[in-house]
Amino acid sequence: MNKNAIVVNNLSKQFGQFKAVDDISFEVAKGEIFGFLGANGAGKTTAMKMLCGLSMPTSGQASVAGFDVYKENESIKKNIGYMSQKFSLYEDLTVRENIKFYAGIYGIAPQKIKEKTNQLLQQLVLEKEADMLVSQLPLGWKQKLAFSVAIFHEPQIVFLDEPTGGVDPITRREFWNLIYDAAANGITIFVTTHYMDEAEYCNRVSIMVDGKIEALDSPGNLKKTFNAKSMDEVFLHLARKAKRIE
């Protein structure tokens, strides 16, 4: 088996005249926490959707969990988890029902669903809220639940698209603890974020500007290369060059 979870070569996505993703290449190692940064409209979400099999690439190659994004997109889906920018659990179902539904469509055995659900509710301290409608939960709890649902079927890789947007600092901290736990269990994390303190938590980060990857290294090395004190400075230095307006 390949030691890389994700391999991307010259991947592009064009909408008419607009190159949303312009010839990007990178690799993500198994078990890595990979930060995918960029300003709004830089093409992060588009790139991520191609890797998840939600969007067809225009050109280039990519493989996820060893499967080709063009031909084996349904095999990729069995091996990944995904949490989108927009909260996407069913608001009119309870916590427990959401877990059961998503676990069920991944084909997990009913007995196992039951056991793991109780375990998860305990871990998230959501036991009391288990039979409440998801719409009644505060945002931070929803995000933690969405993440847990995304990795419930034990995927090899999980894609997180701005998972902590609009969440308070304490909950963000808790959220990152969940991410570390998942990484410790061998799940590769591919995460986009706007928070530069979160970028510091990643093993490696890439910074996208106008559809291209402008920098890719560990946060420590990036700071050295750009002679910056923080990731914030690195990001501002690169993102200022952007010509695209959202």
Partner 1 sequence: MSPLRYILEKEFKQIFRNPAILKVIFIMPVIQLIMLPMAADYEIKNINIAVIDRDHSAVSNQLVQKITASNYFKLVSYDNDFDAAMESIENDKADLILEIPKNFEVNLYNEKESKLFLAVNAINGVKANLGAAYLTNIVQAYNSDFRIETLTPVRFNEIPIIEISSSNWYNPKMNYKIFMVPGILVLLITIVGMNLSSINIVREKEMGTIEQINVTPIKKAHFILGKLIPFWVIGIVVISVGFLIAWLVYGIIPLGSYFTLYVFAAIYLMVILGIGLLISSYSENQQQAMLVTFFIMMIFVLMGGLYTSIDSMPIWARWFTRLNPISYFIEVMRMVVLKGSRINDIAPQLLIMVIYAIFINTWAVLSYHKRS
The site for partner 1 (CB under 8 A) is made up of 52-56, 73-74, 77-78, 80, 82, 84, 86-93, 97, 100-102, 104-107, 110
Q: Which is nearer to partner 1, 153 or 204 (CB)?
A: 153
Q: Which is nearer to partner 1, 77 or 172 (CB)?
A: 77
Alpha-carbon dihedral sign for residues 195, 200, 204, 209: positive
Within 10 A of 109 (CB to CB), how many other CB atoms are there? 10
Q: How far is the CB of 30 from partner 1 (least distance, A)?
A: 20
**Cα–Cα distance, 167 to 197 (Å, whole number):** 14
Q: Which is nearer to partner 1, 33 or 48 (CB)?
A: 48
Q: Which is nearer to partner 1, 104 or 138 (CB)?
A: 104
Q: How far is the CB of 207 from partner 1 (least distance, A)?
A: 25
Q: How far is the CB of 140 from partner 1 (least distance, A)?
A: 18
DSSP 62-120: EEETTEETTT-HHHHHHHEEEE-SS--S-TTSBHHHHHHHHHHHTT--HHHHHHHHHHH
Nearest Cα to 56, choosing from 43, 41, 78, 73? 73
Q: How far is the CB of 17 from partner 1 (least distance, A)?
A: 18
Nearest Cα to 56, choosing from 67, 46, 42? 46
Q: Which is nearer to partner 1, 78 or 223 (CB)?
A: 78
Q: How far is the CB of 40 from partner 1 (least distance, A)?
A: 18
